[in-house]
Structure 1
Amino acid sequence: MGHDVTVATTDLPERNFKVYNGVKIEEFNIWGSEVTGFSGEVESYKQFLLESNFDIIMNYGAQQWATDLMLPILDKISAKKVIVPCGFSGLYLSKYGKYFEKMKSLLRQYDSCVYLSNNYRDINFARKYGAAENCIIIPNGAALDEFELKPNIEIRAALNIPKDHFLIMHVGSHTGMKGHKEAIKIFKKAKIKHSTFLIVANSFGGGCIRRCLLAEKLYKYSPFSKLSDKKIVITFLTREETVAAYHEADLFLFPSNVECSPIVLFEAIASKTPFLVTDVGNSKEIIEWTNGGELLPTLKRANGFVKADVNKSVKTLENIYNDKGKRQFLSVNGYNSWKNSFTWELIAKRYEALYLKLIDDNK
């Protein structure tokens, strides 16, 4: 859109460029957060914030170093300040008690707080403590230039998935909190035949990667999988391959345990794929906005995390598997709502309008 944009982010050894599509990248060798502690080029980052002549500085996500290091110096930064809290995932955890006590007043120091939902813990926190006057809601989405055309990749052939299989897909890293365990149980118990459950996930070396790969291996040799012609595939894919898999999938299954506003749901409807999701983050709101999916029966916990009710979710999966008309209905509605309201191209204009208004107000 012709603006001068800089992204300040973690220094990654594999990143060998300083400009991407015209966006400048400032790298800092920093790890941690206020609660876990910081290490690295902390003072360099603070000086960068204080000395750079930006019109707008936007913090994306609380509870991480790029935001947490800016919080104590908010009043010293002359630029208009915007934050997208992204859910406050630690709000109900005792170790974050002091952090969120300070956040009650810090939110008021921002010129605008962008929330991804009208009814989730972060915006409700702001309302409860009188910090909602500067609120605006701008949802997540999926990119038109990425999803409008299906990539020319034969993903079923590449992953050895039969052409006639009903393909169920999940996208989410092996953090242990994306519901892989419940999703595998739901798929295994469901009375559906000639089907494949594909989990696309990257690994950080821990989390649930070992458990997931073991479940895949054991199911491969299970007599139940052979009798019903079902298989589980767990793999990492490139971004283009992932988009191709979205387009090829018949259903998106996402029983995640904690979210803010799951982008994967928007990516599913952008590929005309209906979804099933736990009542996590603002997934219920996304269903109301898009009419592109349904809720899985969900068990809620006191710490803010959720878990799919596996046995009841099995019935939900079986019902939608056997109802082609409903899947088509959700597919069409979801795709049309995405095209009309939830492309990043449209959402970017809403952010631009906010930024320009803040600058105009300043003038």
Structure 2
Amino acid sequence: MRILITTEQYYPVQSGVSTVVTSIAEELASLGYDISVATGFLNRTVLEHNGVKIIEFKVNGGFGNYYRGETQKYIDFMLQSDFDIIINECVQTWTTDLILKYLPQIKGKKFLHSHGFSLLSYKTKNPWAYIKSKFYYQTLHIYLKEYAHIFLLHENTVETPYLKRYKIEQFSYLPNGVNREFIRDKRKHRDNNGYLLNISNYFPMKNQEFLLEAFYISKTKLKLILIGSSVLKDYLNYLKSLKMKFDKEYGFKEVEFLLDVSREETLKYLQNATLFLHSSKLEVFPMVILEAMAKGIPYICTKVGNVETLHGGVSVDNRAEMALSIDNILKNEEYYNRVVLEGVASMEEEYNWQKIVQNLIQKIGLVQ
């Protein structure tokens, strides 16, 4: 059984989508399936990782401008491919958008794993992307009917009413998760010391200014560490200037801004954190929250995506609420430890890749 997964982001890229797709591909490979991944060019020295073959294409650009580079090479590859199963990851990405109109001509049983119709719910400030998204979603439903099945991350995504509106019934829900080995022993408790942590790229959409001010408003004496792997629009320097402003306004607090930290080192920071803060403006099913839950780190997060349905933390509406939640969870050890256990138990029961991929296998109807 030969399976092709198409994704704009794949290992070693550090992002939520990359982590999810890499985990699914490697879990399928570990079960004996022949897995290939078509993805963006990173000049990888080895085009196989943990049993997954990697096929690179030099395609640049994004939904907000236009796709350029080896676009025709990628289209030709898909038209000439002979895989039994094809899984397209995400819409609004070149790996899916470039082949939508060719889906009837591409061999194999085709599936879409959606990670959110972001521009259907969020009004971008990019005028071209905004206009393009209006036309895009007016016609997308025509192409979606070519998929044998569509996987959404959870019931409350904007995709659900969209699909129902156009009478597309072949969809179900496939949550994000972590590997079972990633989940800590739920019997262990964590001391209330160390540091507060945020892991997000330094993008305005990730909104670190929100959690930064909440941290300053709170009474905690612990330091705050922020880790990002890339920067957009000089946002990191903006955050550093805010830190100096808040030092004058609220009193000095220790804050570290880290950039280009390896995945291994990032996980060490997560493992030893006391509390995880996340203040993104837009998420569907944030992987960083799941990873914090799995490591037994309580989270405080803005009300994005499905965070309100998760266990192991608190969701908030504003900076004052986040500051108050920081103080409440750190001062009450019994409450802290209860939240830790709830998060870890939830990961073991619902959000581990072994269980999730078994569900995927059943839905796709894979037979070895």
- d(CA) in 2 for partners of 1:19 and 1:240? 19
1:63-105 superposed Cα distances (whole Å, 9 cap, x missing partner): 0100101111011112111112211111144420000011122
- Distance, in Å, in 2 between the alignment partners of 1:224 and 1:90 is 37
Deviates more, 1:46-55 or 1:316-325: 316-325
Q: 1:324 to 1:23 in 2, by over 3 A?
A: same
Q: TM-score, normalised by structure 1?
A: 0.83
Instruction: Identify the match of residue 211 of structure 1 among 218, 233, 238.
Output: 238
CA distance 1:51–1:293, change in 2 (3 Å) = same
CA contact (8 A) 2:192 2:274 kept: no
Contact 1:33 1:68 in 2 (8 A): no
1:231 matched residue in structure 2: 254
Alpha-carbon distance in structure 2 between the residues aligned to 1:52 and 1:292: 44
Task: Supply the distance in 2 between the matched residues of 1:28 and 1:166 (Cα, whole angstroms).
Answer: 43
In the alignment, structure 1 residue 248 sits paired with structure 2 residue 272:
yes
Aligned to 1:199: 226
CA RMSD of aligned residues (A): 2.2
TM-score (norm 2): 0.82
1:169 aligns to 2:197 (yes or no):
yes
| Distance 1:222-1:28 versus aligned 2 partners, 3 A rule | same
Please report how far the alpha carbon of residue 273 of structure 1 lies from its aligned counterpart in structure 2 after TM superposition.
Answer: 0.7
Q: Give the Cα–Cα distance (whole angstroms) in 2 for the partners of residues 199 and 344 of structure 1.
A: 27
- Report the counterpart of residue 296 of structure 1 in structure 2: 316
State yes or no: 1:348 paired with 2:368. Answer: no
Q: Is the 8 A contact 2:276 2:300 kept in 1?
A: yes
Aligned partners of 1:33 and 1:223: how far apart in 2? 39
Aligned-pair distance for 1:214?
Answer: 3.1
Number of residue-to-residue matches in the alignment: 324
Given the superposition, is the C-alpha separation of residues 324 and 128 from structure 1 closer, same or farther in structure 2, using an over 3 Å criterion?
farther
| 2:60 corresponding residue in structure 1 | 31
Does the Cα contact within 8 Å between 2:61 and 2:67 map onto a contact in 1? yes
Percent of paired sites with the same residue? 26
Deviation at 1:353, TM superposition (A): 2.3
Output the CA distance in 2 between the equivalents of 1:328 and 1:354: 37
Cα offset for 1:345?
A: 2.5
SS at match of 2:37: strand
CA distance in 2: counterparts of 1:185 and 1:205, whole angstroms = 20
Amino acid in the other structure paired with 2:87: M
SS at match of 2:201: coil
Q: CA deviation at 1:34?
A: 5.6
Amino acid at match of 2:350: S
Instruction: Give the equivalent residue in structure 2 for 1:320.
Output: 329
Relative to structure 1, the CA distance from residue 225 to residue 102 in structure 2 (aligned partners, 3 Å threshold; closer, same or farther) is same
Alpha carbons of structure 1 residues 260 and 281: separation in structure 2 relative to 1, 3 Å: same
Any stretches of 5+ residues in structure 2 without a counterpart?
1-30, 124-129, 186-190
- Equivalent in 262, 282, 307 of residue 283 of structure 1: 307
SS of the equivalent of 2:198 reads strand
Match of residue 335, structure 1, among 321, 324, 344: 344
Q: Contact 2:228 / 2:258 at 8 angstroms: preserved in 1?
A: yes
Following the alignment from structure 1 to structure 2, what is the Cα–Cα distance between the partners of residues 200 and 253? Answer: 11
Q: CA deviation at 1:32?
A: 2.7
SS class of match (1:276): strand
Return the letter of the residue paired with 1:320.
I
Distance 1:188 1:34, change over 3 A: closer
Name the CA distance, whole Å, in 2 between partners of 1:327 and 1:165: 12
Note if 1:262 corresponds to 2:271.
Answer: no
* Counterpart check, 1:104 vs 2:124: no
Q: Which residue of 1 aligns with 2:36?
A: 6
**CA 1:207 to 1:284, structure 2 compared with 1: closer, same or farther past 3 Å?**
farther
Aligned to 1:273: 297
How far apart in 2 are the matches of 1:265 and 1:312? 18
- The separation in 1 between residues aligned to 2:338 and 2:142, in whole angstroms, is 45
Give the drift of 1:148. Answer: 4.3
Would the aligned equivalents of 1:167 and 1:251 in 2 still touch at CA under 8 Å? yes
Given candidates 80, 84, 90, the residue that maps to 1:55 is: 84
Instruction: Give the counterpart letter for 1:134 in structure 2.
Output: Q
Instruction: Could you tell me which runs of 5 or more consecutive residues in structure 1 were left unpaired when the two chains were aligned.
Output: 150-162, 298-308
CA contact (8 A) 1:34 1:69 kept: no
In structure 2, what residue type is equivalent to 1:140? N
Question: Which aligned pairs between 1:146-185 and structure 2 lie closer than 5 A?
Answer: 146-148=182-184, 165-185=193-213
Q: Which residue of 2 aligns with 1:300?
A: none
Shift of the alpha carbon at 1:128?
2.5
By how many angstroms is 1:216 displaced?
A: 4.3
Kindly provide the CA deviation profile for residues 245-289 of structure 1, in whole angstroms up to 9, marking residues without a partner as x: 11211111111111111011110011001111111112122x2xx
